Amino acid sequence: MNFRRLTVLSALTVLGIYAALIASLAYFFDRTAVAGALTSERILFSIQLSLVASTVATGLAMVIAIPAAYALSRHRFFGREVVDAILEFPIIVSPAALGAILLIFFNTPVGEWVQTHLIRFVFAFAGIVLAQFVTILGIAVRFMRAAFDEVPEEYERVARTLGATPVRAFVTVTLPLARRGLIASGVLAWAKAMGEFGATITIAGTMAMRTETLPIAIFMRLSGADIEGTVALILVLLVIGLSALYGARYFLRDRHHA
Amino acid sequence: MDRTFFTTLTVCLLFFSLLGGAEASASGRLLIYAGAASKPPTDDAVRRFEEKTGIKTEVIFGGSGYVLAQMKLAREGDLYFPGSSDYMEKAKRDGDVVAGTERIIVYLVSAINVQKGNPRQILGLRDLIRPGITVAIANPEGVCVGTYAIEIIENQFSPEEKQAFRRNLLNYTASCEKTATAISLKQVDAVIGWGVFNHWDPARIETIPLKPSEIVRVGYIPIAVSRFTQNRKLAESFIEFLTSEEGRAIFARHHYFAKPEEAFSWLGATKPVGGEYAVPAEWLKK
C-alpha cells in the first residue's frame, strides 16, 4: 500500500466511523416519533431557542475574538503567552465543570451583584447564551488567530507606507484577506454553540418552553427512557447542524470561485 | 498488499482484542445503574462491599430514567437501583429487571429545602407562592423527586395557587443532586426535594418538613437484578449486603429511613408507600 492510498484510507475511515454511528440510529428509527417531533410546539421552541442562542453567543464571541485574535497574531505584549495558553481553558475543564464554575461565580459578591442589578443568568435565557459564549470564545480566538497568521504582515506594511492608518490597513487589507478563515471559524464556533450541553444544563436548567435547547431536549427524552423520541431529536439536530455547515461551506466555495 | 498494510491491520486487531479482553475480565465485577437519590450512602456501601468481598463494583449515577435508558441501550449491567418506585415499575413493565428480585432498601419523604438559616422565612408549602420567592424542582420527566413535587402541588394548590407557583418556579433541574445543588449554590430560595437533602450538605441546606396532610405518598428506593446481568449470584450478593445489618446501618448513618414506620414517625402520619404517579401534561409539554 503506497502512502497516498494509506492517507485516503484514513480519510474514508473517518467517514466510515461517523457514517456508521449515524446509520445506527436507523435501528431505533420511528417515523411517527420524527413526525411528532417536527410538529411538536415544544420541539419547535427548542429548535428556535437553540438557533437564536447560538447565533447571539457566536455574534458576541466574534466581537471579542476578532480583535483579540488579531492582537495575538500581530503584536507582542505583556501577558500574550498567558492569553494564548488560556484559550484552551474551556476544553480542558470540560463543559460540566465550566457550568459549575459559572454557577460558583454567581455565588460570589460580584456575581450576585450582576444577577441582582444587571441581568439574571441562572435558570434563564441569558444563562444559555453565557454558557455557549464562554465555551466557544477560546476556540473562536484560536481559529481566527490562525486565519490572521495566514495573511502576510507584508501587505499591511505596504498599506501603511501608502498612508493608511492601522485601522484602515486592518479593515481594507487584512480583514478581506482573512475573511474566509474568519467566516469558517465563526461557523465552527456556531456549530459548537448549537451542540453545547454540559455547561448549559448546569446553569440554565431543563424546563421545556423556557430553557430547553435541542441538546437538552435530547437528554430529557433519554431521561424519560424514550429511545425512539431521542433518535428523532438527534436526527433533527443533525439535519440542522449539517445543513448549516454544508451551506456555509458551499457559500465559501462559491464566493471563493467568484 | 505490502508491509504497511499488514502492520496497520495487526495494530487494529491488537487494539480490538485488548478491548475484548477488558470485557472478559469484567465478569468478576458488578455494574450498577443508580438514581442519584441514594448517591452518598451508595458510595459508602459500595466501598465497604468492595473491601469485604474484593468484588470491583462500578456505579453509574444519574436520573433514574436516564440510567434506565443507558442500561437498555448498553445491554449490560447487573443491578438497577432507581431513586424511587416510579421507574422501577416502568423497568418491571418493560421486563428490564428479573422478576421477583426487587427489594426495598430505604424510604424517603418529600420536603422543602431552603438555604441554611432560612433567610426568606419559608415555613410551609404556601410560602412558595409568595411574590418574590424563587423556586426550582427536579424535571418530572426523568427525575423521580420532581414527580413527587408535582404530585404535591397538584394535590394541594388551587388553580390560582398553581399559577402563582409557576410564576415563582424558575426552572427544572436535571437530577436529584442538581436539585440539592440549586440550594447549596443559592440558585433559588427553595426546592421541593427530599427530607435528607440537608444531610447531603449540612452547612448550606436546611429542610423544612411539609405538613402530614400535604404529603401524598412516601417514596422508597428499590433495587433489582438487571435482565442483562451475566452473574445473577454476584448481583444478588450486593442486594443481600444492602439489606444486611451493616448495609442498613450505612443508609441510617446518612439519615435514610430503613423502615416505613421510621418515615411515618418523622412525618407524623401514616401514608401510602411507593407506587406511580402520572404527571399531568401541562408540566411536561410534549
CATH code for the domain of A234 = 1.10.3720.10
A27 in a domain, yes or no?
no
pLDDT band for position A78 (cuts 50, 70, 90): very high
- Cα A74 vs. chain centroid, distance in angstroms? 25
pLDDT recorded at residue B98: 95
Chain A residues touching residue B2 (CB < 8 angstroms): 1
Q: Is the pLDDT of residue B6 over 70?
A: no
Q: Which numeric CATH code is attached to B110-214?
A: 3.40.190.10
Helices and strands (H, E) in chain A, number of each type:
14, 0
Write down the ipTM of this complex.
0.71
In the three-class reduction of DSSP (H, G, I as helix; E, B as strand; rest coil), residue B109 is classed as: coil
What top-level class would CATH report for the domain B3-106+220-267? alpha beta
Cα–Cα distance measured from residue A198 to residue A46, given in angstroms and rounded to the nearest whole number: 16
Average pLDDT over residues A187-210: 91
From A60's Cα to the closest Cα of chain B, the distance in A is 25
**pLDDT > 90 fraction of chain B, expressed in percent and rounded:** 70
Q: Is the pLDDT of residue B32 over 80?
A: yes
A141 in a domain, yes or no?
yes
Average pLDDT over residues B265-269: 90
In the three-class reduction of DSSP (H, G, I as helix; E, B as strand; rest coil), residue B119 is classed as: coil
pLDDT recorded at residue A254: 60
Q: Is A31 exposed, middle or buried (0-12, 13-18, 19+ CB in 10 A)?
A: exposed
pLDDT recorded at residue B15: 47
Domain ranges of chain B: 3-106+220-267, 110-214
Range with lowest mean pLDDT among A165-169, A170-174, B85-89: B85-89
A26 in a domain, yes or no?
no
Domain total for chain A? 1
H or E element that contains B27 = none
pLDDT recorded at residue A257: 53
| Number of other CB atoms surrounding residue B222 within 10 Å | 24
pLDDT band for position A255 (cuts 50, 70, 90): low
Cα–Cα distance measured from residue A114 to residue A247, given in angstroms and rounded to the nearest whole number: 38
Range with lowest mean pLDDT among A129-138, A187-196, B187-196, B274-283: B274-283
A111-168 per-position pLDDT tens digit: 999 998 999 999 999 999 999 999 999 999 999 999 999 999 899 889 999 988 999 9
Q: Is the pLDDT of residue B23 over 60?
A: no
> 140-159 in B: which are within 8 Å (CB) of A?
141-143
pLDDT recorded at residue B16: 44
B106-122 per-position pLDDT tens digit: 999 999 999 999 999 99
Chain B residues touching residue A106 (CB < 8 angstroms): 185, 187
Cα–Cα distance measured from residue B193 to residue B109, given in angstroms and rounded to the nearest whole number: 9
pLDDT recorded at residue B5: 45
From A40's Cα to the closest Cα of chain B, the distance in A is 6
Cβ <8 Å between A223 and B186: no
**pLDDT > 90 fraction of chain A, expressed in percent and rounded:** 65
Q: Which three cell numbers stand for residue B88?
A: 422501577
H or E element that contains B107 = strand B103-108
Average pLDDT over residues B197-210: 95
Contact in structure between B144 and B177 (CB atoms under 8 Å)? no
A5 in a domain, yes or no?
no
Which of B141, B169, B181 lies nearest to residue A220, judging by beta carbons?
A: B141
pLDDT band for position B250 (cuts 50, 70, 90): very high
A31 in a domain, yes or no?
no
Q: Is the pLDDT of residue A191 over 80?
A: yes
Average pLDDT over residues B132-140: 94
For chain A, list residues whose CB is within 8 angstroms of any CB belonging to chain B: 1, 6, 36, 40-42, 103-104, 106-107, 112, 122-124, 201-202, 204-211, 219-220, 222-227, 230
A147 in a domain, yes or no?
yes
A8 in a domain, yes or no?
no
**pLDDT > 70 fraction of chain B, expressed in percent and rounded:** 90
Q: Is the pLDDT of residue A181 over 80?
A: yes
pLDDT recorded at residue A158: 92
pLDDT recorded at residue B65: 85
A158 in a domain, yes or no?
yes
Contact in structure between A170 and A156 (CB atoms under 8 Å)? yes
Domain around A230: 42-257
Cα–Cα distance measured from residue B214 to residue B269, given in angstroms and rounded to the nearest whole number: 11
pLDDT recorded at residue B66: 85
pLDDT band for position A171 (cuts 50, 70, 90): very high
Q: Which residue of B has its CA nearest to A105?
A: B185
Q: Is the pLDDT of residue A8 over 60?
A: yes
pLDDT, chain A, mean: 90
pLDDT recorded at residue B22: 39
